[in-house]
Structure 1
Amino acid sequence: MKINENTLLEGQKVVLVPYNEEHVPRYHEWMKSPELQQLTASEPLSLEQEYDMQRSWRDDNDKCTFIILDKQRWADPSVEEEQCMLGDVNIFLTDPTDLSVAELEIMIAEPSYRGRGVGKEVTSMMMSYGVAKLGIKKFQAKIGLDNQVSVAMFKKLRFNEVSVCDVFREVTLELTVDESVRATLQDDVVYMKERDYRQTCSSRHELFSQ
C-alpha cells in the first residue's frame, strides 16, 4: 500500500518501517529456511521474484506490510537498517466487497527474538494502525496447527478460534473490533509513536556522520 510508504511506527522493543528494496536480500535469505517456509505456508522464490513481491507489497491496494526492526540496535546510527531486521508483519484486505475485513500475519524470522514478547507488541501495534488508518473492523489470523505459540498469542489478544482446516492443517481465529477492543488497543500501545520514515532515516545518517 502507498499509505504506509513513508510511515515509521516506534514501539518499546521494535520499530516498524516500510518494506523497501534494501530489505529484500536479508528477507530472501530468511525465506530459504524450511522452517519459515512451513510456518508461513510459503514457497521459496528467486531473488528477482522477491524484488517483484516487495514492489507488490508497496503498490497493491490490498496489502500493507512493515519490516520489524530491533529498536535497540536501530537506535545506533552506525548499524545499517538491514542488520536490525528481525521479521515482518502484514495486513491483507481479503474481501474486495468489504475493505474492513483483514487477515493479519506476523513472522519473527530471527529465532533469538522469539518468546520475548516481541510478537505481541508488533501485533498490537499493527492492529492499532489497521483500525486507525485502514478502518479495519474485523481481523482474521490463519495459523498452522503446529504453531501453538502463535495460536496462544492471538488468543491472549482476544482472538477466538472459528474453524480448523485439517486439509491445510491450519486454524482460523477472528477478532471483531468493538469499542472494548479499541480501548484495549489504545491502552496496549499508548507508547507507540508515528514518525516520518524518510526524515527519521536522514536524522540517523546525520548522527553517524557527525
Structure 2
Amino acid sequence: MKINQNTVLQGQRVTLVPYTSAHVPRYHEWMRSEELQRLTASEPLSLEQEYEMQRSWRDDADILFSPECTFIVLDRARWAGQERAEEDCMVGDVNLFLTDVEDPTLGEIEIMIAEPSYRGRGFGKEATLMMMSYGVRNLGITKFEAKIGQENETSICMFKKLHFKEVAVNSVFQEVTLRLDVSDQERQWLLEQTNHVEEKSYVEPELPAGTLET
C-alpha cells in the first residue's frame, strides 16, 4: 500500500488516512468482535500479529492477498483541526485489492464500518466512493468487485446503490459477488460524486511512549 502512504483524502463526513502503526491498537480491539470476524471472514490475531500485518501491508508490495491500497476511515468532524488523536476518531477501514495478476485493472473493494454508532449514516458509502475514485484516477482501475457475506444485507444494498450488479453467489462460502464495470458514463458519475474530495499530504502521527511495535 505504499502508493497511498503519504496521502490524505478529505470528504464531507470522512477523512481517509493511511493505515499506520498508531492505528493498530484500535484496529485490534475491533477485530476481537465476533460479529466483525464473521462479517469479514477474519481470524482473531494477537496484538503483535496485528503490528506485523500492518507492517507487511505497508512494506511488502508484492505479498499475496495484501491490499494494494488501505485507508483508515476517520470521522472528519471529530478529527477536524487534528485536535484529537487519529485513533480516537477511527470508525472503520477501506481496502482495494488487485486480485487478478493477469488483469491489473480489476480491483476488489472492501469496506468496514467497525463502530456500530456510525453505521447507516453514510460514512461507508462516502468512504467507498472515495476509494473507488482514487482507484480509477491513480491505479487505472476500470472494474470493481465486492465479495460480501449473504447475511450482510446492508452492505449488499449499499453496493447496489453504487451501481454494482450481483454476478455470482457462492453457496459454499455463503458469499455474494457484485461487480461494476466503469464505463465512461460510470466514470463521470463517480468523479461527480467525489468532486468535493480534497487530496492532501499525510504526516504520520508519532507513537505514544511505550507503545509496542514489531
TM range (shorter): over 0.9
Counterpart code for 1:74: W
Matches within 5 A, 1:36-47: 36-47=36-47
SS state at 2:120 partner: coil
| Alpha-carbon spacing, 1:97–1:60, altered in 2? closer, same or farther (3 Å) | farther
Percent identity for Structure 1 against Structure 2 = 63
Give the Cα separation in 2 of the matches to 1:135 and 1:187.
18
Secondary structure at 1:75 match in 2:
helix
Counterpart of 1:157 in structure 2: which amino acid?
L
After superposition, the C-alpha distances for 1:72-118 in whole angstroms (9 at most, x for unaligned) are 00014331111000000000100112111111000000000000011
Q: 196, 199, 202: which one pairs with 1:191? A: 196
- Looking at structure 2, the residues matched to 47 and 81 of structure 1 have their Cα atoms a distance apart, in angstroms, of 18
Distance across 2 between alignment mates of 1:79 and 1:198: 15
Q: Find the residue that maps to 1:74 and give its secondary structure.
A: helix
Unaligned runs of 5+ in 1: 203-210
Measure, in 1, the Cα distance between the counterparts of 2:140 and 2:59. 19
SS in 2 for 1:72: helix
Partner of residue 5, structure 1: 5
| 1:10-58 Cα distance to aligned partner (Å, 9 max, x none) | 0000000000000000000000000000010000001111111111221
Structure 1 residues 133 and 6: alpha-carbon distance in aligned structure 2, compared to 1, 3 A threshold: same
RMSD: 1.4
* TM value normalised by structure 1: 0.93
Displacement over 6 Å in runs of 4+: none
**Which has the higher mean CA deviation after the structures are superposed, 48-57 or 30-39?**
48-57
Residue equivalent to 1:122:
127
Gaps of 5+ in 2: 207-214
Bigger proportion of residues as helix = 1
